[in-house]
Amino acid sequence: MTRTMLSRRRPLTMAAAALAGLATAFAVASPALATDPTPSPATTATAQPTATAEPTVTAQPTVTPAPEGPTCVTAADARYTHTFDGPAGTASITLTNGPLCAGEKQELALVSYVTPSAAFAVPQYVLDKSVQAFTGVADGELGVATLDFEVEVPACYTQVDFVFGSTIIDPLTDTSDRYGDRKVGSSSGIGARSEGPRAWYNGGKGTCEAAPEVIAASDCDGTVELTLVNRTGNASADFVVTGGAGFAKTVTVALRAIETVALTAEQAKEITVAAKGMQTWTGGWEKPQDCQEPEVGEPEAGYTFSCDEMTFQIVNPANGASLASTFTPSTGTAKTVTVEPGTTETVTFPAGPGFSVTVTGDLDSGGPLAWEQPADCDKGGEGGGDPSLPVTGAAAGGIAAGAVALLALGAVLFVMARRRRVRFTA
């Protein structure tokens, strides 16, 4: 009988299969050990919770961190909510998706008007306004979220508007601009960027009235400045101003406003101011208590003789006043002369024995001034004197005449006093 010899590979194959079976049995009995080739008692005790938490742990690395600080928007993309109470003159607006980005700005305005009717009517004049703005902020900063507005509302017919932008229409007339869809809460345009009630109001009770006043201030130079005031009124006031020299002017003063009118000395002599709602004012220039009289230069006057003439000379300084005087000779025709400031005038008459001249007017000789024959006329000389020699003299308002015989020239000089008449009219 022949015995087949066993192959050496078969025992190895069977041993490998046996080991594989033991490994499989061991893995079924201990799943945790199948995932950890070197388990420890602590690891084996906590293996079950770790296996169930695995999906959460592996998902966290895919989450993107939130950016720091708020996300900004442009003014064009900003959106708002608002409140509005027209009769009370209040409004508020909140930026809901802001803040605005750096460099961005959105202005808003609440404005109240006085109007001629409880319904929309023109003209309208601004009584009060409030202008505020949302402004952009830098990255990571917080901006203002809400703006609050309040204006005065007149106790008469009014209109109140809450609008985007800072441009105020004043006055609001037939030909002026309109706010249109700038009004907050409009159905279209920029006004539609805010959710809330219609933010415009017309109403009130009673016609608005002006409260005109006149304040006059006189200056030392004779001029007057009128201050036309509409201090507490709820409407504009029309002032009609008339004065001397045909002056006439109508001035419209807006409510809560002041205007001034300057009148010259001629115009200020008689002034009348009329306006609806006040008693007609009349007045004129009145000298202020602190005025100082301007210094007026004194004229110099004198006369000289020749063998057949009598000559008068009047010198009026630049700071003098205009002088008008009449020279009446004892024989011949009288001469009236006006001497303006800064000028010199001479008056000459044929003269002989018994001749004299009387000066009246702003210059007064105080009586006849007699011609005297110069000493050298008997020797065939011309006689006379130097008419340029000045004579200073008498105080203002007085009348003086003097004669001084000049030994060398035989000239006679006199001083005629100028009478000052300064008159202020009211």
Reply yes or no on whether the pLDDT at 139 is more than 90. Answer: no
Kindly report the CATH number assigned to the domain that includes residue 231: 2.60.40
Residues 274, 377, single domain; the answer is no
With respect to residue 227, please indicate whether it lies within any of the assigned structural domains.
Answer: yes
Nearest CA to 168 out of 114, 117, 131, 119 is that of 131
**Contact in structure between 224 and 282 (CB atoms under 8 Å):** no
Reply yes or no on whether the pLDDT at 5 is more than 70. Answer: no
Residues 199, 99, single domain; the answer is yes
Residues 101, 199, single domain; the answer is yes
**How many distinct structural domains can be found in the chain?**
3
Least confident of 234-243, 254-263, 276-285, 389-398: 389-398
Q: Could you tell me the sign of the dihedral formed by the alpha carbons of 72, 77, 80, 84, in that order?
A: positive
With respect to residue 23, please indicate whether it lies within any of the assigned structural domains.
Answer: no
The residue with tokens 């700038």 is: 182
| % of the chain with per-residue pLDDT over 90 | 60
Residues 184, 87, single domain; the answer is yes
Reply yes or no on whether the pLDDT at 53 is more than 60. Answer: no
pLDDT of residue 417: 37
With respect to residue 54, please indicate whether it lies within any of the assigned structural domains.
Answer: no
Reply yes or no on whether the pLDDT at 279 is more than 80. Answer: yes
Residues 80, 197, single domain; the answer is yes
- The two three-digit tokens of residue 252, written as one number: 């419209």
Q: Report the relative pairing of strands 194-195 and 80-85 from DSSP bridges.
A: parallel
Structural domain containing residue 267: 212-283
pLDDT of residue 382: 53
Number of alpha carbons in the 13 Å side-chain half-sphere of residue 292: 2
Residues 171, 248, single domain; the answer is no
Least confident of 45-59, 255-269, 291-305: 45-59
With respect to residue 358, please indicate whether it lies within any of the assigned structural domains.
Answer: yes
With respect to residue 360, please indicate whether it lies within any of the assigned structural domains.
Answer: yes
Most confident of 55-64, 284-293, 411-420: 284-293
Separation of alpha carbons 222 and 268, rounded Å: 7
How does residue 268 score in pLDDT terms, banded at 50, 70 and 90? Answer: very high
Reply yes or no on whether the pLDDT at 315 is more than 70. Answer: yes
Better-scored residue on pLDDT, 291 or 267: 267
Edge-first strand order for the sheet with 194-195 is 146-150, 90-95, 80-85, 194-195
Q: Which of 182, 203, 224 is at the close of a domain?
A: 203
Residues 87, 184, single domain; the answer is yes
With respect to residue 236, please indicate whether it lies within any of the assigned structural domains.
Answer: yes
Residues 386, 404, single domain; the answer is yes
Residues 337, 401, single domain; the answer is yes
Q: Which of 179, 203, 227 is at the close of a domain?
A: 203
Q: Which of 254, 283, 312 is at the close of a domain?
A: 283
pLDDT in tens, 54-98: 555 555 555 555 555 568 999 999 999 999 999 999 999 999 998
How does residue 295 score in pLDDT terms, banded at 50, 70 and 90? Answer: confident
With respect to residue 118, please indicate whether it lies within any of the assigned structural domains.
Answer: yes
Reply yes or no on whether the pLDDT at 248 is more than 70. Answer: yes
pLDDT of residue 329: 96
Residues 190, 226, single domain; the answer is no
Number of alpha carbons in the 13 Å side-chain half-sphere of residue 106: 31
Residues 197, 216, single domain; the answer is no
Rounded mean pLDDT of the chain?
80
Residues 109, 227, single domain; the answer is no
pLDDT of residue 39: 43
With respect to residue 151, please indicate whether it lies within any of the assigned structural domains.
Answer: yes
